[in-house]
Amino acid sequence: VSWLFGPGKAGFPEWVIRQALTKDTVNVVSDKWGTPTSAADIVTGLESFVFSPEPLGGVLHLTNTGSCSWQEWAQHCINCAEKAGLPLKTTKIGATTMDELAKVAGWKAKRPRFTSMSNEKFTRFTGKEMRTWQDAVSEYVEQHLAPALAKEFA
């Protein structure tokens, strides 16, 4: 799995929307790509093959489909929060780079810039495709985050 989000533990969508609710400027890394993945979709995906009579070996990637930068993910979260009527202070996500973040965060280790994974093996084995990361994020923000944050920031 990669870039996991969902109910139960605050993650990136919560962080970025909280930033937009309280700050005039929010900058997010624009040069790192991966696939946001819904915890709920992982459960659904696992159900598709865990009880299968056919054995499955090797490495299996299980993520939502598509790829984006952290900045694109953040902007989609903000767009969904705006659509849900949250009182955002900013609706535009600015850009920063991995190098700039590494300096601020004091990272010593290099981090890969492209971490998207292929669901091809999962689809071949189950005959099913995972939904897009955009659909998963939209549902999560609209059904879970926005109602909770609306109460908190009312």
pLDDT at site 25: 97
Q: Are the beta carbons of 99 and 1 closer than 8 angstroms? A: no
Dihedral over Cα of 55, 6, 130, 3: its sign: negative
pLDDT score, position 48: 80
What is residue 154's predicted lDDT score, i.e. its pLDDT?
79
pLDDT on residue 47: 85
The pLDDT of residue 76: 98
CA 45 to chain centre: 16
What single string gives the DSSP state of each residue in 91-144?
--EEEE-HHHHHHHHT--S---SB-----HHHHHHHS--PPBHHHHHHHHIIII
pLDDT at 85: 96
Which regions of the chain are under pLDDT 50? Answer: none
Name residue, tokens 């944050």.
149
* pLDDT value, residue 116: 93
Residue 78: Cβ within 10 Å count: 25
The label of the residue with tokens 């908190």 reads 152
The pTM assigned to this predicted structure is 0.93
Cβ neighbors of 16 (< 8 A, separation 6 or more) are: 26, 28, 73, 74, 77, 78, 93
